[in-house]
């Protein structure tokens, strides 16, 4: 039986104390917001460590002693997202060892389980960039009280996941695109020019397909990009609002049982 693929993980856990949730909790970043007795970032680190497919974990952002003990390397976050990404990718690839791809995940998905991490890495197609999406019915069945943003496509309604699987080539190609998106975030016409008017119209009318989005991602990055439809609602259940801190999945163990005692 072949061994499962191995990856290095980069956890984006910056954002700073200016984040509304972090500010409300009085902590240095959203990933340090306490949830069921542990900081949110600890749940992510625990899932990665227990997945059996992660070689090393690079944590980008403020970390307390509990999180630091769970990861291999803590890197300060940069002034911009693209800076944090570059720092994380650099640390991850510097110690790549046997891992051929990077698993990028945000530090605010406490309901993503170890088996979900393993399934995503194992099921991901052989592409330079793999991005997960979750059907609306799947997300709402698991988290009926949490409000999510869904995009209507010809294939159905989806919400985006908070992770991605990348090769070194895709990581390098992604950085300037992230920078372009950040610079154009307040200029819709610039964003439209980046993704293509036809895709924008398709998104507005619900007529674009996942296959068309894959083709556009591949064209923008210059590497193969694939979208993976995931049945794991936890990969898309990020925490942005105080009300979400008390919402739990309708199945699975309580959050407090996932990271062990402090």
- The pTM of this model reads 0.88
What's the pLDDT at 202?
83
Query: What SS3 class is residue 225?
Result: strand
pLDDT at 3: 64
**Where would I find the beta strands (DSSP E) of the chain?**
7-12, 34-35, 38-39, 54-60, 73-75, 101-106, 129-135, 151-153, 156-160, 163-166, 225-230
Residue 46 is predicted with a pLDDT of 95
**Superfamily for 7-171+223-241?**
Spore Coat Polysaccharide Biosynthesis Protein SpsA; Chain A (3.90.550.10)
List, run by run, the mean pLDDT of 10-residue segments along the chain (262 residues): 78 81 85 88 95 95 94 92 92 74 93 95 94 94 84 92 93 87 60 72 85 92 94 90 56 45 40
Single out the residue of 176, 170, 175, 167 nearest to residue 222, CA to CA: 170
Supply the DSSP symbol for 252: S
Residue 15 has φ and ψ, to the nearest 5°, of: 100, -35
Is-contact 234 244, C-beta < 8 A? no
User: Where are the domains positioned within the chain?
Assistant: 7-171+223-241
Q: Nearest CA to 120 among 13, 227, 261, 224?
A: 227
Give the sign of the dihedral formed by CA 170, CA 63, CA 260, CA 256.
negative
* Pair type for strands 163-166 and 73-75: unpaired
Q: What is the pLDDT of residue 97?
A: 63
CA 154 to chain CA centroid, Å, is 24
d(CA 130, CA 76): 26
3 state DSSP class of 223:
coil
């Amino acid at each position: 039986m072949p061994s499962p693929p191995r990856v290095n993980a980069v956890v984006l856990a910056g954002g700073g104390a200016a984040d509304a949730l972090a500010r409300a909790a009085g902590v240095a970043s959203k990933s340090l917001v306490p949830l069921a007795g542990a900081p949110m970032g600890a749940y992510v680190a625990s899932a990665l460590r227990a997945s059996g497919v992660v070689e090393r974990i690079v944590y980008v952002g403020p970390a307390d002693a509990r999180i630091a003990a769970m990861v291999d390397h803590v890197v300060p976050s940069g002034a911009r997202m693209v800076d944090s990404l570059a720092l994380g990718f650099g640390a991850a690839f510097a110690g790549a060892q046997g891992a051929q791809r990077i698993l990028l995940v945000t530090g605010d998905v406490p309901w993503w389980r170890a088996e979900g991490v393993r399934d995503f890495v194992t099921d991901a197609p052989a592409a330079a960039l793999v991005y997960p999406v979750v059907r609306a019915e799947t997300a709402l069945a698991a988290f009926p009280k949490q409000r999510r943003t869904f995009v209507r496509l010809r294939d159905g309604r989806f919400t985006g996941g908070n992770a991605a699987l990348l090769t070194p080539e895709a990581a390098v190609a992604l950085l300037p695109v992230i920078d372009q998106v950040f610079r154009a975030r307040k200029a819709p016409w610039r964003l439209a020019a980046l993704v293509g008017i036809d895709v924008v119209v398709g998104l507005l009318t619900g007529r674009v397909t996942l296959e068309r989005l894959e083709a556009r991602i591949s064209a923008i990055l210059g590497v193969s990009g694939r979208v993976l439809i995931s049945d794991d609602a936890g990969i898309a259940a990020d925490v942005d609002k105080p009300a979400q801190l008390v919402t739990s999945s309708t199945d699975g163990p309580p959050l407090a049982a996932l990271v062990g005692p402090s």
